Chains A and B, each alone.
Chain A
Amino acid sequence: IAGITQAPTSQILAAGRRMTLRCTQDMRHNAMYWYRQDLGLGLRLIHYSNTAGTTGKGEVPDGYSVSRANTDDFPLTLASAVPSQTSVYFCASSRISLAGGQPDTQYFGPGTRLTVL
């Protein structure tokens, strides 16, 4: 693994089904993020984690949950998918800046294209 990977690449899902999007990084970054990208709306933060064992809500968290059991993995779960969750999902990671709270460069995975019917 080099960098950050996501799986699956794409998925078509029936409404009401549960789905987990996987994200793994090998850069030993403390912080990880999940974004969704929709036409005209740009990248919007769903959930984030500043370190293993902690998570936080972003701008659009409803309908999504995350966990951070270790440094490398940050799965995103849709408990009961709805059509409005059709989007491209990007996972990203970054170091924790030594200047407390100052954001650092984020590196993105290749994305998961999800369609909910």
Chain B
Amino acid sequence: GQNIDQPTEMTATEGAIVQINCTYQTSGFNGLFWYQQHAGEAPTFLSYNVLDGLEEKGRFSSFLSRSKGYSYLLLKELQMKDSASYLCAAPGGYQKVTFGTGTKLQVIP
């Protein structure tokens, strides 16, 4: 099966920048997803990288290197509402993804 590795917890200060890393086993399928999940809620889609490089979407950016099986999510100008878990998901077979256990981000004043 797919092995996905991401840090369990991170803490960052309001207004700062934080980078959440994710490593995964490469497979025959491309693409790396990032989801955000607030406590007690469902995961919501943040980004989907299919090709190598950086994709920017407002305060959030996501980077992918397919050959290295590496991705990161970059959050800028952190706000208190960004406190959540961030889930990395990589292809795990035909039409399926495997989710990492998530990185719990705490934003402090």
Task: Using CB atoms and an 8 Å cutoff, list the residues of chain A in contact with chain B.
Answer: 31, 33, 35, 40-45, 48, 50, 58-59, 90, 94, 96-97, 101-111
Contact A103 B29 (CB under 8 A): yes
Interface bin, chain B: 20 to 34
Which of B48, B96, B100 has a CB less than 8 Å from the CB of A45? Answer: B96
Contact A59 B1 (CB under 8 A): yes
Task: Using CB atoms and an 8 Å cutoff, list the residues of chain B in contact with chain A.
Answer: 1, 28-31, 33, 41-45, 48, 87, 91-92, 94-102
SS class of chain B's interface: helix, strand, loop or mixed?
loop
Which of B45, B95, B100 has a CB less than 8 Å from the CB of A96? Answer: B95
Chain B min CB distance to A94 (Å): 8
Q: Give me the 10 closest cross-chain CB pairs, A-B, nearest first.
A: A42-B101, A108-B42, A43-B99, A101-B94, A103-B97, A108-B43, A42-B99, A105-B45, A110-B42, A103-B91
Which of B30, B41, B95 has a CB less than 8 Å from the CB of A110? Answer: B41
**Given known A40-B101, A42-B101, contact A103–B45 (CB-CB < 8 A):** no
